[in-house]
């Protein structure tokens, strides 16, 4: 199948492309002039240069595609406007290009986020139909894009809401691996509960969303099986790295200091940083937990890897590739 993919150069996208190639699909990747192609060294890939912010550049990308997987997005930004431009406006431009130049598309799979749904208020894992209440600008921008898709008439979208994703090549959850490798297990405030996804499990969910007819105009959470605490997760990371780290408790009230500093540095360097006021709002939440029974029942989704296996594979990759 000829599948147009945005965000292929990114962490999740590069894994998705490998799975598409293994299945014998023909991926067509949207890349920017500045994109780094280091994770896409495959001659079978077709590249189209364009930018989600430039609607006219999307015509060749969407033409002739049987399906589109839209992963490109902004996970770090300095302002709400930057998140909206990256996640909401970019999605509108892409959908409009498809509606105009390739209206018979079979499926449009959108990478939203658990952040669009927001945290669970009471620890009960959220279901897809629970009323969304994002706590961050990032989550709001993803929810806006979801709402736009749901308001289209008959557009064949499927929304996937991943939680925090880890795996080879990831640079965000990697921070926890780096700290554990240095012998530090950071615990912020009271222990937190979370759903998390190994990138290979998530890619399996994306492919099911692409294939299954019943997924048309539906939304799914895709995660590893089970719910973890941050303490258990960091312990798993430490075990995978063969470390016995020292637990360091950081009071939540102290978090705003590095976030403000990081925001200031980001403004000086003119680029978004990993830690920001927006991210702190997310870190402060106690229950980033979701229920994946809808994906299991309707898509037949079953994670191929346990979190322990995913963490071990990820740790091995960081070590073998000199990241740790």
Ligand X SMILES: NC(=O)c1ccc[n+]([C@@H]2O[C@H](COP(=O)([O-])OP(=O)(O)OC[C@H]3O[C@@H](n4cnc5c(N)ncnc54)[C@H](OP(=O)(O)O)[C@@H]3O)[C@@H](O)[C@H]2O)c1
Classify residue 301 as exposed, middle or buried by CB count within 10 Å of its CB (0-12, 13-18, 19+): buried
Q: How far is the CB of 244 from ligand X (least distance, A)?
A: 27
Residue keyed to tokens 């590095």 = 258
Which residue among 86, 132, 263, 272 contacts ligand X (CB under 6 A)?
86
Closest CA to 73 of 143, 175, 20, 25: 143
Confirm or reject binding of residue 113 to ligand X (CB under 6 A). Answer: yes
Residues 288-307 that bind ligand X (CB under 6 A): none
Q: How far is the CB of 115 from ligand X (least distance, A)?
A: 7
Q: How far is the CB of 106 from ligand X (least distance, A)?
A: 21
Q: How far apart are CA 69 and CA 183, in angstroms?
A: 39
Of the ranges 31-39, 221-229, 291-299, 316-324, which one interacts with ligand X (CB under 6 A)? 31-39
Angle at 167 between CA 220 and CA 82, to 5 degrees: 65
Residues 168-197 that bind ligand X (CB under 6 A): 172
Phi and psi dihedrals of 75, rounded to 5?
-100, -15
Nearer to ligand X, 38 or 249 (CB): 38
Q: How far apart are CA 34 and CA 277, in angstroms?
A: 28
Residue keyed to tokens 């308001």 = 151
Which residue among 68, 111, 143, 194 contacts ligand X (CB under 6 A)?
111
Of the ranges 65-73, 184-192, 206-214, 247-255, which one interacts with ligand X (CB under 6 A)? 65-73
Spatial neighbors of 38 by CB under 8 A, at least 6 apart, are none
Nearer to ligand X, 8 or 215 (CB): 8
Confirm or reject binding of residue 11 to ligand X (CB under 6 A). Answer: yes
Confirm or reject binding of residue 32 to ligand X (CB under 6 A). Answer: yes
Nearer to ligand X, 15 or 212 (CB): 15
Of the ranges 4-12, 98-106, 147-155, 312-320, which one interacts with ligand X (CB under 6 A)? 4-12
Q: Rounded to whole angstroms, what are the CA distances from 23 to 111, 180, 281?
A: 20, 36, 39
Confirm or reject binding of residue 73 to ligand X (CB under 6 A). Answer: yes
Among positive and negative, which fits the CA dihedral 48, 22, 290, 259?
Answer: negative
Which residue among 45, 52, 94, 315 contacts ligand X (CB under 6 A)?
52
Residues that bind ligand X (CB under 6 A): 6-7, 9-13, 30, 32, 34-36, 51-53, 71-73, 75, 86, 90, 111, 113, 162, 164-165, 172
């Amino acid at each position: 199948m000829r599948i147009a993919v945005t965000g292929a150069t990114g962490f999740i996208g590069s894994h998705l492309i490998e799975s598409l190639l293994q299945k014998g699909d023909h991926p067509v990747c949207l890349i920017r002039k500045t994109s780094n192609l280091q994770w896409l060294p495959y001659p079978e890939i077709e590249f189209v240069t364009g930018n989600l912010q430039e609607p006219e550049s999307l015509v060749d990308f969407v033409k002739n595609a049987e399906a589109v997987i839209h992963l490109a997005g902004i996970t770090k930004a300095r302002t709400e406007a930057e998140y909206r431009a990256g996640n909401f406006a970019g999605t509108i431009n892409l959908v409009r290009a498809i509606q105009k130049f390739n209206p018979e598309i079979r499926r449009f799979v959108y990478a939203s986020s658990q952040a669009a749904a927001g945290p669970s208020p009471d620890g009960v894992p959220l279901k897809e139909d629970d009323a969304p209440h994002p706590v961050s600008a990032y989550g709001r921008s993803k929810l806006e894009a979801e709402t736009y898709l749901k308001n289209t008439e008959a557009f064949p979208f499927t929304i996937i809401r991943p939680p925090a994703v880890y795996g080879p090549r990831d640079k965000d959850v990697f921070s926890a691996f780096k700290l554990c490798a240095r012998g530090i297990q950071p615990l912020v405030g009271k222990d937190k509960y979370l759903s998390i996804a190994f990138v290979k499990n998530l890619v399996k969910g994306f492919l099911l969303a692409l294939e299954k007819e019943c997924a048309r105009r539906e939304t799914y959470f895709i995660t590893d099986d089970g719910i973890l605490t941050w303490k258990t997760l960091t312990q798993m990371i430490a075990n995978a790295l063969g470390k016995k780290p020292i637990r360091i408790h950081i009071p939540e009230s102290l978090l705003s200091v590095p976030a403000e500093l990081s925001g200031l540095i980001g403004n000086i360097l003119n680029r978004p940083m990993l830690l920001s006021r927006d991210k702190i709002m997310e870190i402060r939440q106690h229950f980033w937990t979701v229920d994946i029974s809808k994906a299991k029942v309707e898509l037949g989704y079953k994670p191929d890897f346990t979190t322990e296996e995913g963490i071990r594979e990820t740790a091995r990759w960081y070590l073998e590739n000199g990241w740790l």
